[in-house]
Structure 1
Amino acid sequence: MAGTKTTTGAPTDVTQKHNKGGIGESTLRPDGTLKVTGEFAYSSDMWHEDMLWGQTLRSTVAHAEIVSIDTVEALKTPGVYAVLTYDDLPAGMKNYGLEIQDTPVLAHGKVRHHGEPVALVAADHPETARRAAAKIVVEYKELPLITDEASATAPDAVLVHEGRTDEYIEHVPHPNIVHNQPIIRGNAEEAAKKADFVVKGEYTFGMQDQAFLGPESGLAVPAEDGGVDLYVATQWLHSDLEQIAPVLGLPEEKVRMTLSGVGGAFGGREDISMQIHACLLALRTGKPVKIVYNRFESFFGHVHRHPAKLYYEHGATKDGKLTHMKCKIVLDGGAYASASPAVVGNASSLSVGPYVIDDVDIEAIALYSNNPPCGAMRGFGAVQACFAYEAQMDKLADKVGMDRVEFRQLNAMEQGTLLPTGQPVDSPAPVAEILRRVKARPLPPERQWESSEGADVRALPGGLSNTTHGEGVVRGVGYAVGIKNVGFSEGFDDYSTAKVRMEVINGEPVATVHTAMAEVGQGGITVHAQIARTELGVQQVTIHPADTQVGSAGSTSASRQTYVTGGAVKNSCELVREKVLEIGRRKFGSYHPAWATAELLLEGGKVVTDGGEALADLAELLEGESVEIEAEWRHRPTVAFDKKTGQGNGHVQYSFAAHRAVVEVDTELGLVKVIELATAQDVGKALNPLSVVGQIQGGTTQGLGVAVMEEIIVDPKTAKVRNPSFTDYLIPTILDTPTIPVDVLELADPNAPYGLRGMGEAPTLSSTPAVLAAIRNATGLELNKTPVRPEHLTGT
């Protein structure tokens, strides 16, 4: 069988050996040099000597009945080994999904969005597979389109999904609403009567793509036991496994998954893309099958950030205290549910922002439509809300006549504040302080191309980004702050598993860490080694490839992996340490010098920096023995929000970030240069300070993208994507990226490992509204839509 062949480029152990590198130190990433030099093996680099290539045929229309599919000519193509449609799927489960199993493996009866998978081809060359797929003839009978709230919720609206039976259907007012979550606290109507000032706003947030650099790809290898080995880039191995195995008609133990090199994720790899398709073709042909999407196909192969309409009302007294808030958030989830229910929960529960408002009336909904499916992306519902509530804060501060930062500080939440869900914030919430810090930072000089005489413009903040140096360039400054939950919420059993082994190899004590955590660029493998060095006192740590042969680590999302999987590694290391101490007592007794120094090393949690006596004693203690322990770690339990009132302790931890944006706007050409995006953020404990700063700067840049350039354009008449390429879908490059000074606070959360706070998503929230606020400050325009385009600034 093909499963006996060698797979080239398969993941291997990563050994990290440093003289130091424990918790709190800036340890370099072991994969960093390989990635920047192009030597790192990504999933698209996987190869098998007798593999086939898979290709997906996708729908050319957004909503239609499938009248017929003719595969005869495709099957006749030389080099083609298989062509599959829905009718060729194994008996049993034929749908999948993260929360609602509403997504067909291949379209059945109808297609619901542009680019939906309809058929699969396996051939001996990728070009042969593409040509064969093009020969498949699909006859469609187009159906009316659902593209917005009005068309989705009309009494006579066509249903995107007929006969829904999922758990949310009982609580939604229309079958084309995936989920709705009201949050009612106090009495917003009565509180509004006490307001001296009221501001309202309608905001539009565009659809954003995760734009990861490595398109979806993987290699499925059929095995001799009738199962399959899948090497794939994903964010959640065990969730993929739970969705894949039933469709293949196999028990989970016969679907073995190994994480391959991941070229970025940002939420776009939480859902299944090519995994099931590759496995189906491999099992049908008995040969390994590799699927690699090109960039065009990648835009159709994963979910995107939900576009949104947001309607807000805030009130304040004349002394600046917030009185009430009303809002409605409408998220377009597209054709399939994906993570929309959870995104709704986040958007509603965080819609107030990091402010104290006792009286609120909130509703968030996600629609089914015939637009592209939307789901998880960095920030997960909180991004859209932050864009709206921060614009409202500026409007209201201006109405009251207060400084915009001081107005926010006056109303800022702190530890002990009750959220609109009734949940208290039980760890530090330094909202006022991070605002103070970004405001206190010195501003960069204006018109730097004039003040920096003789300097290369490329070296100046903002560099060559999108503006000129003409007389029409105007400076603007804006502020924003946001709140993001950390970890899975609303009663989800959020846990992770880690297996740690300690032994002596070549006379040196070595720790091996094995988890199913997906390393997608966040630096988790570096942190796991740091934890092992700190807890076990070793210098050499080996990180085993992530796979499904160890317990689940959950998804690399929700800013949770350092918190939860880091907690599991810490827990396992502590148990290993106890076992090693038992070995020492048994071998030497408590008075042997080797035992005494090893015990000091282990119990002190010290990292040895000189490679000296203590490590040698530890090696002597362990010689001939090994300890391996697999343990789980869970954060505190949460509960689902009440379906009518939204009350409940739905989140476990919160992350806060503030930004000050400085922009230069060419008011004649409508061009924007972002000069600086200063940020301050509380991270609880910086386990790896260098990595922390990198995460904050990366999230900030993604927020910049959605502010001024990123949007997937969907034709409202056809629901087709108009710009599925990096030629037309623009993302920030190094030339667009401003100076991003970072102020890191470390206010420990007593409930988290090492006091850490998940921090990867929070900077994505506040950078977007800060940039918009700065552009408004420069131009005086209202600008209630992302991204800001030249025509919005010039009126043309």
Structure 2
Amino acid sequence: MASPSGTPTKITQGSRTKGGIGESTLRPDGTLKVTGEFAYSSDMWHEDMLWGQILRSTVAHAEIVSIDTGEALAMPGVYAVLTYDDLPTDVKNYGLEIQDTPVLAHGKVRHHGEPVAIVAADHPETARRAAAKIKVDYRELPVITDEASATAPDALLVHENRDDHHAGHVPHPNIVHRQPIVRGDVAAARERADVIVTGEYTFGMQDQAFLGPESGLAVPEEDGGVHLYIATQWLHSDLRQIAPVLGLPEDKVRMTLSGVGGAFGGREDLSMQIHACLLALRTGKPVKIVYNRFESFFGHVHRHPAKLHYEHGATKDGKLTHLKCRIVLDGGAYASASPAVVGNASSLSVGPYVVEDVDIEAIALYTNNPPCGAMRGFGAVQACFAYEAQMDKLAAKLGMDPVEFRRLNAMEQGTLLPTGQPVDSPAPVAELLRRVKAMPMPPERQWESSEGADVRQLPGGLSNTTHGEGVVRGVGYAVGIKNVGFSEGFDDYSTAKVRMEVVAGEPVATVHTAMAEVGQGGVTVHAQIARTELGVTQVTIHPADTQVGSAGSTSASRQTYVTGGAVKNSCELVREKVLEIGRRKFGSYHPAWATAELLLEGGKVVTDGGEVLSDLADVLEGETVEVEAEWRHRPTEPFDLRTGQGNGHVQYSFAAHRAVVEVDTELGLVKVIELACAQDVGKSLNPLSVLGQIQGGTTQGLGVAVMEEIVVDPKTAKVKNPSFTDYLIPTILDTPTIPVDVLELADEHAPYGLRGIGEAPTLSSTPAVLAAIRNATGLELNRTPVRPEHLTGTQLSEG
């Protein structure tokens, strides 16, 4: 194992090797995915395989009086039925940060759809029928669904006898985490304000809606261990939670990443991983579990719904004076990533603006609603929706252009965040706003043509509900700030193993990491880094597994930064070893081996002046060079639990959007015509992939603006729309034109100067769409998603 790299790597321009950094190389899995040939985890098969099925609770909060598995066990083809009492060790809970989630419910259930029992059978339909025969007697309890019911003096506790490291600083046991941030004197600043605006904002519960439902295959091994093939976002985190429950050392739980059909945070938590392994070890046979879409809505966490109260003040010349805000996030029944989401929501609640005096509080609740955790944007999305609405309110009250008002208050490099941390890399907020405003506007009344109306361009689209009557255009702007990487003192590192050897007379590099490729394109970038640093054309990406050190989670826009940094670091160490071999073999024949700055380019060793010294294949003939090394970003620290001060984040990304919408004000229908984006990416390692990430994040933000919401019955805490029939996501017909202006201002602390990019466009696209709809209708619209009844005043039934 090579020594970890604790220092920033220098910014390089890349080699002249084809397919290196800065080129739009194609994804190796792209063709397979679009042709349907790619093997996802749900496609896995094993001889003599059994099928697993999970029985889930039909109520949200209840005592479990009894569980009768007799009928299920008696069914032909059933090999095992397990409940909480059948778990093999005393470790029966798991969790990302707080181990509060039971493998199977014990004593009571805390949310609709909680796993109660698991079944293994020789056919999936047999497993489903057997699960249906398990009899569970529930004694229902009152449900806790909001802050009022969670913190009332007589409130039931979602978790009795709660004992964890968060309990000491929260005002009630039904609060998972609380983070205040206080700086300056808000009361005095309020006196200086010429205008003050307030707003109450509601952000709906969004689902990650990945297209490949959860699935995995557990195979028992001869040594008593198990090999799990799984679609996940973080192999080593899964391993850390799985092994103790199974009663196995980590080296007997081998994990290999299988094909992942999207993630967006929903695969950071465990789903069926432990269940499949338990059934495989109990039966001695491979066990496969595949969720259907209905189960998937219950099988993973969602984006936290939020209530946000904001107050801003400004002087008459447009300078912000203060911010006072309170953010209440509903974490649902289990903690998941709620503490970290609270940290993000509070520390980024001001947005990319200069505000000296702040009084901020963010909390996450325990309720009986569905568990919520990581989703693209991770707390910053909810805050951005509120603070950007506030910017528009202030600009309107001051009679200022909303873009110019934002630019006047925009942060820049050196600005202090409300946590007291300076932004120590480029923060081109004003420039991004200028650029997005300057982009050409789409033509008016695009639905009109000499051949008649093109209904696809109208609100309502192919439903043919309008031909332009009552359609009004609106334009809106928004900008956001998102942290990159893990924060608040988390040891954020990644590991990469790189090998170089000669195969069939050609130098070949192999890159092995535990990075979960979930569609973000890491497998492409890692090959580009290896080509750039090692000067080879042929690069093999080894399948991700736990036979190499952790790569951390594919989340927080961190993988290109941190695992890319690890690949770069390992390649640099391999390069030095290769050159040392060359010096040993050929140095006596050419003095430049010892005196020149040597580079590897195009399969050759060359001097910095371009003189070729040797073929790489000749240097490596008979030799194999391998290095496994780590890369860490700069350390961070936890926010003070009283004041919120601290250097909690390592990097930031910024994106600005302009939304153009057309609204049928009579029918309450919205058509988003365009979502133009300007974003700083630091360094565009793969321009085509960068564009895809920005457009994808933009589309997810569009979804939560106008259609996506998991609807939970406030009386029963049951999910009312667990299907793509009722939970709507944007299709190609809903997705607007998304022109992108990419800015590259290098961050000197990051590999190649890059900046994480995947999440920032999800922040600003949502409030931009809402701003455009407000501009078209004149309505306040303080919640997401916007529904037709919000635009027409018609109240529709929730049934």
Range of TM-score over shorter length: over 0.9
Change (3 A) 1:200 1:286: same
Which SS does the other structure have where 2:779 is aligned?
Answer: coil
The equivalences for 1:539-550 within 5 A come to 539-550=537-548
1:324 to 322, 326, 330: 322
State how far apart, in whole Å, the 1-side matches of 2:697 and 2:688 are: 14
Amino acid at match of 1:491: G
Aligned to 1:778: 776
Gaps of 5+ in 1: 1-17
1:377 to 375, 378, 382: 375
Q: CA deviation at 1:445?
A: 1.2
Gaps of 5+ in 2: 1-15, 795-799
1:497 aligns with 2:461: no
Contact preservation (8 Å) 2:331, 2:338? yes
Contact preservation (8 Å) 2:455, 2:467? no
Aligned to 2:209: 211
Change (3 A) 1:260 1:338: same
Amino acid at match of 1:203: Y
Any idea what the Cα deviations from partners look like across 1:282-315, whole Å, max 9, x if unmatched? 0000000000000000000000000000000000
Aligned to 1:668: 666
Amino acid at match of 1:505: V
Amino acid at match of 1:57: L
The equivalences for 1:110-509 within 5 A come to 110-450=108-448, 458=456, 468-509=466-507
Any idea what the Cα deviations from partners look like across 1:356-409, whole Å, max 9, x if unmatched? 000000000000000000000000000000000000000001111100000000
State how far apart, in whole Å, the 1-side matches of 2:344 and 2:124 are: 41
Contact preservation (8 Å) 1:597, 1:614? no
State how far apart, in whole Å, the 2-side matches of 1:533 and 1:594 are: 23
State how far apart, in whole Å, the 1-side matches of 2:287 and 2:774 are: 52
Aligned to 2:750: 752
Q: CA deviation at 1:119?
A: 0.1
Amino acid at match of 2:747: D
State how far apart, in whole Å, the 2-side matches of 1:453 and 1:655 are: 45
Q: CA deviation at 1:488?
A: 0.1
Which SS does the other structure have where 1:267 is aligned?
Answer: coil
1:49 to 47, 50, 61: 47
Aligned to 1:679: 677
Contact preservation (8 Å) 1:188, 1:361? yes
Contact preservation (8 Å) 1:355, 1:413? yes
Identity over aligned pairs, percent:
90
The equivalences for 1:580-599 within 5 A come to 580-589=578-587, 591-592=589-590
State how far apart, in whole Å, the 2-side matches of 1:718 and 1:600 are: 69
State how far apart, in whole Å, the 2-side matches of 1:262 and 1:598 are: 45
Change (3 A) 1:555 1:461: farther
Any idea what the Cα deviations from partners look like across 1:716-737, whole Å, max 9, x if unmatched? 0100000000000000000100
Any idea what the Cα deviations from partners look like across 1:453-485, whole Å, max 9, x if unmatched? 679665899975997332200000000000000
Query: Runs of 4 or more off by more than 4 Å in structure 1?
Result: 451-467, 592-600, 603-608, 612-616
1:764 to 758, 762, 765: 762
Q: Which shifted more, 744-753 or 582-591?
A: 582-591
Any idea what the Cα deviations from partners look like across 1:181-230, whole Å, max 9, x if unmatched? 00000011110010000000000000000000000000000000000000
2:707 to 694, 706, 709: 709
State how far apart, in whole Å, the 2-side matches of 1:517 and 1:464 are: 41
Q: CA deviation at 1:650?
A: 0.1
Q: Which shifted more, 297-306 or 580-589?
A: 580-589
Aligned to 2:628: 630
- Alignment RMSD (CA, Å): 2.0
Q: CA deviation at 1:92?
A: 2.1
Contact preservation (8 Å) 1:598, 1:618? no
State how far apart, in whole Å, the 1-side matches of 2:604 and 2:654 are: 31
Change (3 A) 1:606 1:557: farther
State how far apart, in whole Å, the 2-side matches of 1:204 and 1:226 are: 50
Contact preservation (8 Å) 1:533, 1:607? no
State how far apart, in whole Å, the 1-side matches of 2:34 and 2:463 are: 23
Amino acid at match of 1:692: V
State how far apart, in whole Å, the 2-side matches of 1:22 and 1:223 are: 40
Contact preservation (8 Å) 1:465, 1:673? no
Contact preservation (8 Å) 2:458, 2:662? no
State how far apart, in whole Å, the 2-side matches of 1:650 and 1:83 are: 46
Amino acid at match of 2:584: R
Any idea what the Cα deviations from partners look like across 1:767-786, whole Å, max 9, x if unmatched? 00000000000000000010
State how far apart, in whole Å, the 1-side matches of 2:788 and 2:205 are: 18
Amino acid at match of 1:238: H
Any idea what the Cα deviations from partners look like across 1:302-355, whole Å, max 9, x if unmatched? 000000000000000000000000000000000000000000000000000000
Aligned to 1:567: 565
Change (3 A) 1:619 1:463: farther
Amino acid at match of 2:765: S
1:105 aligns with 2:103: yes
Change (3 A) 1:588 1:606: closer
Q: Which shifted more, 595-604 or 470-479?
A: 595-604
Which SS does the other structure have where 1:47 is aligned?
Answer: coil
The count of residues paired between Structure 1 and Structure 2 equals 776
Contact preservation (8 Å) 1:466, 1:673? no
TM-score with structure 2 setting the length: 0.95
Amino acid at match of 1:76: A
